[in-house]
Amino acid sequence: MVSSNEHQLRCIERITLNIIWPNFFGRKYLGSIKGVAVTVTVIASSFGPLPLGIGFDVFQSYTQVLMLFLLFPIIGLLCAVLTKKPEKANYKELAS
């Protein structure tokens, strides 16, 4: 059974992947962009336990490292809010 929080996160992910990315990057290369994003996510997930383990060895607790990890979503949110939508280039004007 899918929890309510997990369902909400999946809905946010669907909005991001299916509405926001095409608006920013167009649909032509969306598959390539998604492929790179998934690859980066998998690699980042594989390195996640390393700083947690080092942090536990240093601080004898996970609290400090988890507090540091909380900065990443906040930074991502700030970047998302401050990002301007790119303007579509008019290639016909550029060619002349």
Does one domain contain both 43 and 69? no
C-alpha dist (Å) from residue 6 to 28, 34, 40, 80, 94: 30, 21, 21, 21, 46
Query: How many structural domains compose the chain?
Result: 2
Q: Domain of residue 75: give its range.
A: 49-81
Does one domain contain both 11 and 33? yes
pTM of the predicted model, to two decimals?
A: 0.59
Does one domain contain both 1 and 39? yes
Check residue 77 and give its pLDDT: 86
The residue-averaged pLDDT of 6-10 equals 74
Check residue 57 and give its pLDDT: 95
For residue 32, which of 47, 22, 42 has the smallest C-alpha distance? 22
Does one domain contain both 35 and 54? no
Residue 3 banded pLDDT, cuts 50, 70, 90: low
41 lies in some domain: yes
Check residue 22 and give its pLDDT: 81
Does one domain contain both 1 and 31? yes
Does one domain contain both 40 and 66? no
d(CA 76, CA 80): 6
Query: pLDDT tens across 36-64, in order?
Result: 988 998 998 888 789 889 999 999 999 99
At residue 84, the 3 state secondary structure works out as coil
